[in-house]
Amino acid sequence: MTGLQLRAPSRERLTAASDVTVADLPRVAPASVAWDVETVADVRAAGRDAVDDVLAAASLPPGATVAVTAGSRGIRDFPEMVAGAVAELQARGHEPFVFPAMGSHGGATAEGQREVLADLGMTEESLGCPVRSSTETVAVGRQDGLPVYVDRHAAEADAVVLANRVKPHTDFNGDIESGLCKMAVIGMGNREGAELLHNAGLDGDMAAEIRDRAAVLFEELPVVGGLALVENQHDRAAHVEGVPVDEIPTREPELLDLAYETLPTLPVADLDLLAVDEMGKEVSGTGMDTNVLGRTYFRGETEPESPDYTRVYARSLTPPSHGNGLGVGLADMVHRDLVANLDLADTYVNIVTSGEPRRAKVPLVVPDDASAFLLAPSVTGTPDPADLRVARIRNTMEPGELVVSEAVVPDLEAAENVTVGDLRPLSFEDGALPDDPY
């Protein structure tokens, strides 16, 4: 079940009733946000230091096998941090290995998850240690009468080191969101653990469910601590820290506060149309970060009041997603090439595991970029196309480089940290937007 075989309508037929031409559309200008950021100078060294801090509170004998988690997100400095941690563990006489801890991603298969890690730059050669991939799980305890699952490799290791980015989650808000506890419960839980947690969270407090199940894992498994990475607005490591296991429940909320401070978002909160060049699993668990889009679409969660983007248009699906289009339902329009690249099997496995089918709904499919923009006045209720408030970004990880329409320019010119370029006509070549207008 790969891809959707469909015949998208022609641009002429799709836009026949709108009476809008390209000449009617607004002029656009490039814009750039200059964030004041902090960056870790040597991430590999920071990974070594973080492991040193974790092991200071543990007692591991020489030759101990140490399982280190690796997820499916495109965290730019994560491979270097893990490689540094691996080097330090080996220098101490231990036998580290890295294993995929990504729930049901990669099609919930061992080989698929190994491929995801390779696409993200994590191989045995680059990490300097074995990569052991298995989707087998074992139950190591119970919480609220339900089993708590963990990857077999983690269960059989002498020690476990959790490694993850701490950031705002795309499904829920709480003092524990995306980070070390989530990596333990959902990532290490493989498909069974991830599905059980998400199902429990649909009718309860997701943060509390993660915290409670993490406590079981910390009690039953030899988890010695975690390596926490917080990114700056340019998706580089701003902070790397080793957290002993006993301190994770109290330290992670503090790191989450830091992550909220450095979360990159668009410099404009009110748009008629947001065009996103690419969505993908390495960008966000939902393909596009819900905190950037201002829409959650998850049962039981309140939709944010800001930002307010009337319509979202997604143009493509990244190759490292391997066809997993979870989050496509967050968009209102998608390019037909994105739909053609969907692997419905991978997408649906991930959707069923996470528990929110709305996010897998296929939106209005357009044959090209020009069609999406020509339809924008009608689907946003903008009588004069020249007044459209539009922004275009590469992906939701890089919202600081964008192209905006003329109506948005005054808002950005009033911001101290935003530079706006010259206005120019919005152009298309064979219906496609320019490749690199930023």
Residue 84 to residue 227: CA distance in whole angstroms = 11
With a CB cutoff of 8 Å and minimum separation 6, the contacts of 338 are: 279, 314, 315, 316, 317, 325, 328
**Residue indicated by tokens 């935003």:** 418
Q: Which residues of 143-176 are buried (b: 16+ CB within 10 A; e: fewer)?
A: beeebbbbbbbbbebebbbbbbbbbbbbbbbeeb
Task: Give the C-alpha separation, 24 to 197, whole Å.
Answer: 49
Q: Averaged over 14-33, what is the pLDDT?
A: 91
| Tens digits of residue pLDDT in 427-438 | 999 999 999 899
| Superfamily per CATH, domain 43-261 | LarA, N-terminal domain (3.40.50.11440)
pLDDT at 205: 80
Average pLDDT over residues 68-74: 89
Per domain, the residue ranges of the chain are: 11-35+265-420, 43-261
Average pLDDT (356-361) is: 90
Mean pLDDT value across the chain: 92
Read off φ and ψ for residue 322, nearest 5 degrees. 55, 40
H-helix or E-strand spanning residue 390: strand 390-393
pLDDT for the residue 1: 45
- Six-digit token pair at 254? 């503090």
Residue 204 has pLDDT above 70, yes or no: no
Q: How far is CA 248 from the centre of its chain?
A: 22
Q: Tell me, what's the pLDDT at 202? A: 63
CA distance 233 to 378: 34
Report if pTM > 0.85.
no
pLDDT per residue over 95-133, tens digit each? 999 999 988 778 888 999 999 899 999 999 999 999 999
From 43-52, 146-155, 192-201, 413-422, the region with the lowest mean pLDDT: 192-201
Between these two residues, 144 and 242, which has the higher pLDDT value? Answer: 242
Q: Is 19 exposed, middle or buried (0-12, 13-18, 19+ CB in 10 A)?
A: exposed
Question: How would you list the strands of the sheet with 401-405, edge to edge?
Answer: 364-366, 333-335, 308-314, 270-276, 390-393, 401-405, 28-33, 418-420
The whole-number pLDDT of residue 436 equals 86
> Among 63-72, 106-115, 338-347, whose mean pLDDT is lowest?
106-115
